[in-house]
Amino acid sequence: MILESNVGIGIVGKEGKQASLAGDFSINQFSFLTRLILWHGRLSYKRSALLSQFVIHRGLIISVMQAVFSLVFYHVSIPIYNGFLMLGYSTVYTSLPVFSIVLDKDTGVQQALDYPPLYKTLQKGRSLSFKTFLIWVWKSIFQGGFIMFC
């Protein structure tokens, strides 16, 4: 059954550790499943949704800046930034927002366990939808254009 699911959760029991070794996650008691889903699952989904959108956002900002630069200077094929600046942008300059996203918690553990509807709102897919993607694309276009002209 673990092999057929998307995410396998193995529970260590009297039968041994075979089920827990075959799963993606291993817990010691069935009661730990609540914390795994309501806290860790919710936090993992929100972080991965925000991180994937941010990675697309930071790439689009540079692309918009390069496109504006090419249009302003009569379709010149010269890059606006050299390789070392691009390397620095993708690693050093944008690493702090990534750490902020990874370490961010919008609610506490006990609050997430006390209010399961917080998890239910994630099942609707609002954190990672086409609408949020278009919002991030619009932000990228606006910020890239603003950086170039101001």
User: pLDDT, tens digit, for every residue of 100-140?
Assistant: 888 888 889 999 889 888 888 888 888 889 999 999 999 99
Q: Can you say how many angstroms the Cα of residue 129 is from the centroid of all Cα atoms in its chain?
A: 12
Count other C-beta atoms under 10 Å from residue 61's C-beta: 22
Distance between CA 29 and CA 87 in Å, rounded?
Answer: 46
Kindly list the domain boundaries of the chain, sorted by start residue. Answer: 1-30, 34-149
- Cα 102 to Cα 16, 37, 54, 94, 119: the distances in Å are 35, 18, 12, 13, 18
User: pLDDT, tens digit, for every residue of 25-68?
Assistant: 888 888 888 888 888 888 988 999 999 999 999 999 999 999 99
Instruction: Report pTM.
Output: 0.80
